[in-house]
Amino acid sequence: MNQKQGILVVSFGTSYREAFEKNIVSVEREIQNAYPSACVRRAFTSRMIIKKLAARDQFHVDTVSEALEGFLNDGCTELLVQPTHIINGNENDSMLETLCAYRSRFTNIRVGAPLLSGKEDCQQVIDALTGHYDGLGSQNALVFMGHGTTHHADFAYPALDYMCKASGHANIHIATVEGYPTLEEVKASLRIQKPKQVILAPLMLVAGDHAANDMAGDNDDSWKSQLEHEGFSVSC
Ligand code: CO
């Protein structure tokens, strides 16, 4: 029997059309290109975003279980699942729970890890980020906005921050919206470093609300405004 390989790409989701194309579809396309004969499906873990897209755009995105049913309907029982999640947090946990419930109905389900799942991952991410920002200059600082969470997997962010410093990038900082470190910790480092320029960038798959408003927005409590208020020159 020559069975088709199924690949499920699981993302939190976004309602930003541009971010959807640039950040989610592009990842799915890369995966499809790497496995041209595989059947690739999309699922989102955010029900709120699935509902919003359906109501606003009449655009349907599967939940994880809907996508799994789709594979079964196609007779596809060899499955690879790759989350685009950054950390092993709540979204990834709920995805794994759903997969567990389907285990007996598939011949094989293999699951890839979220981006920051270990030391090697952190190093690769740091290499990619520093490669992208190789013109940074030691007089400037780069501050990444991670999402952060109350889930224990939040420890990936301080680990990444520590490894930035340990690999010689004292001017690269990781802060989070909902976890640790917060912008307050990073402000304290910046006050000591006194960079000429602070560059803010999202450390998220999708540049959505958090990047547009909480990071780069003109409102008083955006990270950009807060750092400017501290006297730093900021670019996003
Ligand atoms: Co959020």
pLDDT exceeds 90 at position 130: yes
pLDDT exceeds 80 at position 131: yes
Give residue 177 CA to ligand 1 midpoint distance, Å: 8
Burial of 192 per CB tally in 10 Å (0-12, 13-18, 19+): exposed
Give the per-residue pLDDT at 4.
83
Give residue 140 CA to ligand 1 midpoint distance, Å: 28
pLDDT exceeds 80 at position 3: no
The whole-model pTM stands at: 0.93
Question: Which residues share a beta bridge with 79?
Answer: 6, 109
Mean pLDDT on 61-81: 97
pLDDT tens digits for range 208-225: 899 999 999 999 999 999
Give residue 77 CA to ligand 1 midpoint distance, Å: 33
How far is C-alpha 149 from the geometric centre of its chain's CA atoms? 12
Percent of the chain at pLDDT > 70 equals: 99
pLDDT exceeds 70 at position 1: no
Active site residues: 147
Label residue 147 by pLDDT band (50, 70, 90).
very high
